[in-house]
Structure 1
Amino acid sequence: MLVRTDANGTRALRWYASVIAAVAGGLLLDAATPGLSWWPLAFPAVALVCAAVWQQRARWGFLVGALAGAAFWMPHIGWLTLYLGPIPWAALCALMILWFGLFGVAAAVATRGLRRIAILRRSAAALAGAQAASVAGLWMLREQLQGAIPYGGFAWGRLATTQADGPLLQSVSWLGFAGLSALLAFASVVPVAVALVARDRGTSVRPVLVGVAASLAVLVALAALPAAPLEQSGALRVAAVQGNSKSGIFDDREAGGVIRDHFTATEELLDRLEAEGRTVDVIVWPENSAEFAAPDQLIRSQRLAKLAERAGAPIVVGTVLANEDGTYSNSSLVWNSEGPTDARYDKRYPVPFAEYMPNRPFFRAIVPDLVDLVQLEYAPGTRPSALEVDTSAGVIRAGIAICFDIIFDPQAVAMASDGAQVIFAQTNNADFGRTDESAQQLAIARTRAVEMGRAVVNDSTVGTSAVVAPDGRSLDELQPFTRDAMVAEVPLVEGLTPALRFGGAIASVGVLVGVLGLAGGVFGLVRARRVSRHG
């Protein structure tokens, strides 16, 4: 038998079954994301992970939760080893696995303890519903915490992103990343909750079928939701350049090689447009494409201005700028025919251990060779997240997300609040080679486009580059590791989707449900222990 019953009548998977379920669930969750993108696997993945910890004791919940986390995270971010080696990968995996382990403890305590509350024990439906809602809320809480703690967090590998290529994608414009993750988790665990409650009561298989039908009804309702409508105020013909540069941290390249590749790709683009009698309103270059201190490099700055003049369109470039306090900014600037303008955005979420070194003395004592590789200290930006760009289509406001900026929910809110009508997501994926990293990042950008109701120009130095419509469709896409450019007409959009207006509140409600479920579980276990002590 796969299920055991303890002295209190609590049913849970046997140790070997829970281990198998945890590992299988973690692996399936990775398969649901790019590169495989087998999105339907997200549902059995969550069901298996949660079944592994359901009504287990706290310590075992932590262990099998951590096993699920290891099975997911270790292959999912294997791309981190490509240039930086195993130590940063192992460190980040350990942190992410810890969050999964803590989720396992919380879910085990909540599901086990809620079963001891008398008012819930009177109704199988109430007990199953309370357990499922609590675990879904705790799943969301884990995602929220890992995306904030420590050092700003790592909001990667979220359940909502698995649906970037699936029929549920449009619902993220109503629910946001956190809300969609919670509902997907809820639909996945309802059958688990109903199945174990049914076995608890010794009833037939019918309640299990009811639970599966309820989950399917939730998913069908989500699939039926159209994207939230927003007002279109115009259109913009945008070009984005992929220079296919040697732009990784340890690439063997000469100074000026990256910007030269993007000059060449832009000139080839303009040759093609002129031959076809077409024009564009704005040109986007990727992160770091103009290398260091672009405004101070006179020849490069003049060449950019001449390209903008030839194109009849401004060029939004990525460059690294020195600050007066000795720190640096990973920035986006706008060039027109007269040179650099005053428009500037500085990356708000520099990457710890890559773009800056937190607690440098401490970590240097542990791994000095790796710590010393991080020589520049990038400061988090404080400027508005949308740039004003004067184009032939009029003055537009472009939201800017540099590299991992795109994964953070507060950045999406900031871009929309600052009036962004379109999103330029400039990135440099060269450090990750031909791994799944760039495809995973594009899936996040695609989900973000639908959540915000705005087109996203995901432009990389090496790929994967794509222009994504507000409904998630690819309007143009480039082959990775080729020098090329893409051109598409995108809508300019005003207003806020329900996800942007109410996403924070939805997340708060989901977290509250999870916390209340955990508190109820603790209460139920403590009360049951007291009753047992007093006979």
Structure 2
Amino acid sequence: MTPVDTEQPVRAPRDGAHRLLLRLARPGAAALSGVLLYLSFPPRPLWWLTLPGFALLGWCLRAARPRAAFGLGYLAGLGFLVPLLIWTGEEVGALPWLALAAVEALFIAATCMGIAVVSRLPLWPVWGAAVWVLGEAARARVPFGGFPWGKIAFGQADSVFLPLAALGGTPVLGFGVVLCGFGLYETVRRIRAHRTSGELPRGPLAAAVLAVFLPVTAALAALPLVEDSAEDGTATVAAVQGNVPRLGLDFNSQRRAVLDNHARRTEQLAADVAAGKVAQPDFVLWPENSSDLDPYRNGDARLVIDQAVRKIGVPTVIGAVVTPDTGKLRNTLIQWEPERGPVATYDKRHVQPFGEYIPMRSFVRLFSSDVDRVSRDFGPGNKVGVFDLAGTKVGLATCYEAAFDWAVRDTVTHGAQLISVPSNNATFGRSEMTYQQLAMSRVRAVEHGRAVVVPVTSGVSAVIRPDGTIEQQSRMFTPDALVAEVPLRSSLTPATRMGTLPEGVLVALAVGALGWVGYTRGLARERSRNAG
């Protein structure tokens, strides 16, 4: 056998393994980029992992064919959303959790296909970041009213980019983070190309570096927008966390126990006030579902609430399930006055699909019998929730609504000086869900320049200042009452004033870039046909 023959069998497997590694490199990197995005979310203070996450995703997608980009994007979406949304299967098993993650990952896959399409354009990090915002905008609206959980902005409560929320809301904050990540990759790519070819195109390199530093510079410039001053004085607020008798979907089978827990903790707060241990609150906030017994129909529940409110002696917001004779249930917040009882209500406007109502019930039942735990659907309200509590205008966004830009902004444009996000996280046990939702409220505080109070049945309850810092917070599954003096504010941030305009501009940029690529490719095909 000749030397060439003896070397060939050794070289071929090595070449084959090398080709296999090359094939797996991008899919593996795409999945890893999604995992990095997940790790950047609370409760981990690793917000900066979004930057290498998007840099890695940029490497995967740049100049990729659309079909390949869709597959890579789907891997990234699964790497991100499967661990992020694991709490959705806490009590109903893996199937609903994995189905939700699989469907939502399709949005990320389509987004990544769009990013690959615009990645050959000059200044592609700008267009790519705009396409990401377009994808998040779509995911926040369809299907069933959208599911914005996992917007990149919601993982940035501790980041240097957070002031961008006051400048243009969650779309601008997310755009800045994604732009910085893509710019980081493009900068490295240009430098490596210089080392290989010896040529250094200064214009493209400068544009790449600018994509890294522009979002950071804009965030620093927006710092003065993050105000913490008391423009309208202060209010002393109490957030009551009564706790639940047991975890899981069946916690509300002991509805009277949940109500009694919150009434008892409010009465203890009244005793602490009388003893001088804590300040007298101006008003008290109970969580969502703190009374799953309808106080309008259940005399015992009404009596328990009324006694607790009379003891504390200030207006109290009660979270109740209202059960009309006909029609759908209402997830309602009730303003309860010590001497007059219930005087105002707010019905949750964005009820949660597959949690508070079941779309396509007969079809979904084929996959999970747990749908029948929601035996009667909740219906949405149609009025913005702002209560006047002892002279303070308090805006109300119930639990899931905090994820939707419009649901929080509406309360501020209707005069809210303070925002309350009453929630019930008992269904999700000790999962990361409560920390992810708390981070949303911190972003909302900066976005609208308002203190945000988060009373939760089982934790984590918190008092958040307008600059996004947490003044007080409770422990999970521990009865507590947080009492804090918070600043009241009435001025509007640019984000509040502009509403959906920044998102609309970024979406228009994305659509324009995609349209331009489609137009130029059409011209190229036409020229090719003519030449043929």
Question: Which TM-score applies when normalising by structure 2?
Answer: 0.89
AA at the equivalent of 1:59? R
**Corresponding position of 2:80:** 72
**Corresponding position of 2:14:** none
Residue 75 and residue 459 in structure 1: after superposition, are their counterparts in 2 closer, same or farther (change >3 A)?
same
Measured in 2, the distance between the counterparts of 1:231 and 1:237 equals 12
Q: Is the 8 A contact 2:161 2:215 kept in 1?
A: no
**Corresponding position of 1:348:** 349
1:311, CA displacement in angstroms? 1.7
Residue 232 and residue 90 in structure 1: after superposition, are their counterparts in 2 closer, same or farther (change >3 A)?
same
AA at the equivalent of 1:91? A
Q: Is the 8 A contact 2:423 2:454 kept in 1?
A: yes
AA at the equivalent of 1:23? A
2:57 equivalent to 1:49: yes
Measured in 2, the distance between the counterparts of 1:251 and 1:267 equals 22
Q: Which one of the candidate residues 166, 169, 176 is aligned to 2:162?
A: 169
**Corresponding position of 2:42:** 34
1:529, CA displacement in angstroms? 3.5
**Corresponding position of 1:62:** 70
2:313 equivalent to 1:312: yes
2:300 equivalent to 1:299: yes
RMSD: 2.2
Structure-to-structure mapping, 1:16-165, within 5 angstroms? 16-112=24-120, 114=121, 127=122, 129=123, 131-165=124-158
**Corresponding position of 1:326:** 327
Task: Summarize deviations over 1:175-234 as a string: whole Å, max 9, x none.
Answer: 200111112211221233455567779434976587346513431431342252587212
AA at the equivalent of 1:323? P
Measured in 1, the distance between the counterparts of 2:318 and 2:114 equals 46
Q: Is the 8 A contact 2:183 2:208 kept in 1?
A: yes
Q: Is the 8 A contact 1:385 1:411 kept in 2?
A: no
Structure-to-structure mapping, 1:234-383, within 5 angstroms? 234-245=233-244, 246=246, 248-251=248-251, 253-276=253-276, 278-323=279-324, 325-364=326-365, 366-367=366-367, 369-383=369-383
Q: Is the 8 A contact 2:161 2:177 kept in 1?
A: no
1:353, CA displacement in angstroms? 0.9
Q: Which one of the candidate residues 460, 464, 471 is aligned to 1:468?
A: 464
AA at the equivalent of 2:222? L
1:525, CA displacement in angstroms? 2.8
AA at the equivalent of 1:452? H
1:339, CA displacement in angstroms? 4.6
Unaligned ranges ≥5, structure 2: 1-20
Measured in 2, the distance between the counterparts of 1:239 and 1:45 equals 40
Structure-to-structure mapping, 1:198-237, within 5 angstroms? 202=197, 203-204=199-200, 208=205, 211-212=208-209, 214-228=211-225, 229=227, 232-237=231-236
1:527, CA displacement in angstroms? 3.0
**Corresponding position of 1:502:** 498
Q: What's the secondary structure of 1:256's corresponding residue?
A: helix
1:14, CA displacement in angstroms? 5.9
Measured in 2, the distance between the counterparts of 1:205 and 1:436 equals 46
1:296, CA displacement in angstroms? 2.7
AA at the equivalent of 2:456? S
Runs of 4 or more consecutive aligned structure 1 residues displaced over 6 Å after TM superposition: 197-201
AA at the equivalent of 2:430? R
**Corresponding position of 1:436:** 432
AA at the equivalent of 1:219? V
AA at the equivalent of 1:408? F
**Corresponding position of 1:523:** 519
Q: Is the 8 A contact 1:333 1:340 kept in 2?
A: no
1:172, CA displacement in angstroms? 1.0
AA at the equivalent of 2:213? L
Measured in 1, the distance between the counterparts of 2:307 and 2:407 equals 33
Measured in 2, the distance between the counterparts of 1:339 and 1:305 equals 9
Q: Which piece of structure 1 moves more, 524-533 or 411-420?
A: 524-533
Q: Is the 8 A contact 2:88 2:96 kept in 1?
A: yes
Residue 209 and residue 165 in structure 1: after superposition, are their counterparts in 2 closer, same or farther (change >3 A)?
same
Q: What's the secondary structure of 2:373's corresponding residue?
A: coil
AA at the equivalent of 1:257? A
Residue 324 and residue 527 in structure 1: after superposition, are their counterparts in 2 closer, same or farther (change >3 A)?
farther
Q: Which piece of structure 1 moves more, 56-65 or 370-379?
A: 370-379
2:484 equivalent to 1:488: yes
Measured in 2, the distance between the counterparts of 1:371 and 1:463 equals 25
Residue 158 and residue 227 in structure 1: after superposition, are their counterparts in 2 closer, same or farther (change >3 A)?
farther
Measured in 2, the distance between the counterparts of 1:195 and 1:503 equals 36
Q: What's the secondary structure of 1:296's corresponding residue?
A: coil
AA at the equivalent of 2:264? T
2:394 equivalent to 1:398: yes
AA at the equivalent of 1:222? A
Q: What's the secondary structure of 1:84's corresponding residue?
A: coil
1:98, CA displacement in angstroms? 0.3
**Corresponding position of 1:118:** none
1:437, CA displacement in angstroms? 0.3
1:367, CA displacement in angstroms? 2.6
Task: Summarize deviations over 1:391-416 as a string: whole Å, max 9, x none.
Answer: 2xxx2221111111111011122111
Measured in 2, the distance between the counterparts of 1:194 and 1:518 equals 23
**Corresponding position of 2:176:** 183
Task: Summarize deviations over 1:355-377 as a string: whole Å, max 9, x none.
Answer: 0011223333x336133222121
**Corresponding position of 2:509:** 513
Measured in 2, the distance between the counterparts of 1:76 and 1:359 equals 25
Residue 310 and residue 517 in structure 1: after superposition, are their counterparts in 2 closer, same or farther (change >3 A)?
same
1:306, CA displacement in angstroms? 2.7
Measured in 2, the distance between the counterparts of 1:324 and 1:297 equals 13
AA at the equivalent of 1:273? V
Residue 221 and residue 417 in structure 1: after superposition, are their counterparts in 2 closer, same or farther (change >3 A)?
closer
1:312, CA displacement in angstroms? 2.2
Residue 406 and residue 464 in structure 1: after superposition, are their counterparts in 2 closer, same or farther (change >3 A)?
same
Measured in 1, the distance between the counterparts of 2:418 and 2:434 equals 21
Measured in 2, the distance between the counterparts of 1:319 and 1:286 equals 9
Q: Is the 8 A contact 1:347 1:380 kept in 2?
A: yes
Measured in 2, the distance between the counterparts of 1:530 and 1:210 equals 32
Q: Is the 8 A contact 1:241 1:484 kept in 2?
A: yes
Measured in 1, the distance between the counterparts of 2:326 and 2:252 equals 30
Task: Summarize deviations over 1:118-163 as a string: whole Å, max 9, x none.
Answer: xxxxxxxxx1x1x111111110011111111000111111111222
Residue 205 and residue 70 in structure 1: after superposition, are their counterparts in 2 closer, same or farther (change >3 A)?
farther
Residue 450 and residue 429 in structure 1: after superposition, are their counterparts in 2 closer, same or farther (change >3 A)?
same
Measured in 2, the distance between the counterparts of 1:98 and 1:442 equals 26
Unaligned ranges ≥5, structure 1: 1-12, 115-126
Q: Is the 8 A contact 1:110 1:522 kept in 2?
A: no
Task: Summarize deviations over 1:420-459 as a string: whole Å, max 9, x none.
Answer: 1111110000111111000000000100111011111011
Measured in 1, the distance between the counterparts of 2:187 and 2:22 equals 18
